[in-house]
Structure 1
Amino acid sequence: MNKIAIIGAGLVGSLQAIYMARKGFEVSIYERRSDIRDAKLVAGRSINLALSDRGWKALKGAGISDEIEKIAIPMKGRMVHDVEGNQSFQPYGFDDQAIYSVSRGELNKQLLIKADEYPNVQFFFNQQVKDIDLNTNALKIQDLHTKEASEKAYDRIIGTDGAFSAVRLRLMKTDKFNFSQKYLEHGYKELHIPANADGTHKLDKHSLHIWPRGQFMLIALPNIDGSFTLTLFFPYDGEVSFNSLDTDEKVMDFFQKTFPDTLPLIPDLLKDYNENPTASLVTVRCSPWHYQDKICLMGDASHAIVPFYGQGMNSGFEDCTVFNDLFEQDDWEWDQVFSQFSAKRAPEADAISELALRNYVEMRDLTANEQWLLQKKIERKITT
C-alpha cells in the first residue's frame, strides 16, 4: 500500500484525503494549526465562500455533498446597493441557477469529520514541516507544542498547505521551478450583520449583496444562523483607505457617506472594524506542480487567487476531481498522474486567476454602471 502524506488539513487537503482514502491508500495528514473541530470558529479571519457547480461535483465524488447542502444557502444573483439605498437584483442565470454561500470553517469541519471516518486516515495537528529530503521523500517535522523534531518518509507527498506553502518552498530550490506572487493594493476586513431577534436575515438571504463604490466595495454573504458575513475590500493606502481611517469618527463618517444603508445593520461596526484583522490579497503562480513521482502541489499551494471570481475554493476542489480521475486510466503510474495533472491544471488555473482579477473591476465598478447592466440584460435575453 502506498503511504501518502498530505500537508495541510484545510479545504483541499481534507477533501483530497477523502479521495485518497476511498482508493485504499494509507493517508497521513499534517497540519500546522490545531484541530479546528475542537475550536469555536472566530470571526474576522476568512471570507465566506461561494460554492459553484465544479465544487459540488468534487463534493459529490467524495460522497459528502448531502452533508454540505445542510450548511449552504443558494444565492440566485447579486443584489446591488447604491449610495441612496436603492437595490437592484442581477440574476446569475436562469430559473434556479445559483451559487451557494458556505462558511469556510464549517465546511472545513465537515470535511475533516468525513475524512476521519476512514480507518486508513491519520491526523497530526500542530506539526510544522521544516524541510523535505528529496532523496528519501522524508518530512522533517517539528511539533509546535513540544518543540520535538521528527522525520518520516512517505511514498508520495501532496502539498495542500496554502498560499505560503512549505512544500512549495522546498520545490522552489529545485532546478527549473517557476514561481511568482503578486499582492493587490487592496486588502479586506470582515464585518458582521447579526440576525434579527427572531433569527431571520436582515437582507434577502438568496442574494450576494454588493455595495460597489468604484475603488472599493462591500459584499455580504448569508449564513445559516440568520447573520451575514460582510467584507470590506479597500485600498491599504491613499486618501480613502485603511490607513487613512485611523479614528472612530473617520470610520463612522466614511460609512455614513458611502454605505449609509448598512449602518442600522451593523451594530458592532466600530468593534468589528478595530478588532478584526486587515488581510492581504495575493495571487500565486508556479510550475511545474510536481517533482518527479514524489511530490505534488494542489489548491492554493500551486495557484492562490484573489476571491473576486468566487472560484478559489472551487478551483482547488476541481484539482481533487481531475487528480483522482487520472487513476481511472489503465496501467497508471504515479509519475504519469503527477505530470498529467500538472500539465492540465496549471493553464486552467492561470486563466481563472486572470478572470478573478478582472471580476474585481466588474464587481466594484461595473455592477453600478447602467450601460453594463443593459448589456447583461441583452446577453441573458439572446441566450434564452
Structure 2
Amino acid sequence: MTTTTARAPLPIPLPLIIAAGCFIALVTFGTRSTAGLFMLPMTADLGWSREGYAMALAVQNLVWGITQPFAGGFADKFGTGRTLAIGAVIYAIGLLLAAFSPTVELFIVTGGVLMGIGIGTASFGVVMAAFGRAVPPEKRSFVFGIATAASSMGQFVFAPLGQAFISNFGWQMALVYLALIILMVVPLSASLRGRTNSAPGDADMPFMQALAKALGHNSYRLLIIGFFVCGFHLAFITVHFPAFLIQCGLTPEASSWALGLIGLFNVAGSLLAGWLGDRLPKQILLAVIYFLRAIGTAAFLLLPITEVSAYIYAATLGLLWLATVPLTAGLVSLFFGPRYMGMLYGVAFLSHQIGSFFGVWLGGLAFDMTGSYDLVWYLGILIGLFSAAIHLPIRENKAPAFIAAAT
C-alpha cells in the first residue's frame, strides 16, 4: 500500500506577486473609473435623470464599501487569490447585466449592488492585504504606492478606451467588452494566493475583538473620518467631472482625456506618496494632500474653464488623487500589523465609500435641482480643509492593544 504526501505549494517570487497585483488593480480600478463616461449616453437613451443614474453609482460605492471589510476578512482567513477570483466573476456579471437594464431600479441592482459587491471583493484593497503579507514593513508604503500607481494607470488607460468603446460600439457593447476584460483577473488571482498569519510581536485575537480594539484607537478613528472626505472628492469627480466639462463647452473626447490625465499624473503622485511615506510622517503628508486639493479646486473654479485649464487641473488633481491610499494603508499596517490588514483597511475604506455615496448622489441631486454642480464643488473645498486639520493629531505609533504581551 502506498501513501502520498501532500506537497506545499511552491513559493511565488515577490516580483511576480507585485506584478500580478498591480495588473489586477489596473484592470479593476480602470474599469470602474469609466462610470462617468456612461452617464450622458445612458440617460439620453433610456430617459433617466442624472440623479437616478447617480443614485445607482452611489449605491455601488456604498455596497463596495460595505463589502470591503468582509472581503478583507475573508481574504485574511481564506486567501487573497480565492477572494479576487470570486469578486472578478461577480463584477463581470454585474457589468453584463447592467448593459441590459432598462430601468433605473434594475440598474441600481445590477450596476449598483452586484457591481459594488464585485468591485469590493476584487479591489486593490484586497491586493493591499496580499502585499502587506508579502512585503517587509520598511518597504510597505512604497509598494502600496506602486499598487496605487497601477490603479491610476488603469484610469489613464481605460478612460479613453471606454470612450472609444462607447463611440464605436455604443454604450451597451462597451459594458460587455469591459466585463470580458474583468474576467482576466481570474487566472491572475492565483499569483496572490495565501492568507495572513500573525507576525512576531503582534497580538493574536478573534477578528471582532480586533475590530473593537481598533475602533478604540483615536488615531485610527481620525484616519477613518479623513478617508470619508477622500471618497467624497474622488467619486464626485469620477462620475460628474466629464459631464461638468461638457456643460462648460468641452467635447466628450476632451473630457475623457481630462479624466485620463488624472490617472496618468497620479502614477507619479502615488509613487511619490509611497516613497515619502517611508521617510516622513504619513499623517502630515495626508494633511498636505487634502489642503492642496482644496486650494487647487478653488483656483480651478475661480479661473475661466477652458480645455487647457481643465487639463492643468486634472494633472494637478492627479498628483493628489490616490496619493492618500498608500499613506492610509501604511498607517493601518503600522497601527495594527499585517494580520488584520485586510479587515481594518476595509473598515477605513467603508468610510471612504460612504463619502463616495454622498459625493456621487449629491452631485446628481444638486444638478437636477439647480442646473449646476457649484454647491458640491464648494462643499468639497470646505471638507477638504476640515480633513487636512483632523489628520494633524494622528500619532504614527503601533496601537498598544495590538502589541503581544511579553512572555
| TM-score, length-scaled by structure 2 | 0.28
More helix by share: 2
Q: Which has the higher contact order (CA 8 A, sep 6+)?
A: 2
TM-score, normalised via structure 1 length: 0.30
Structure with greater strand percent: 1
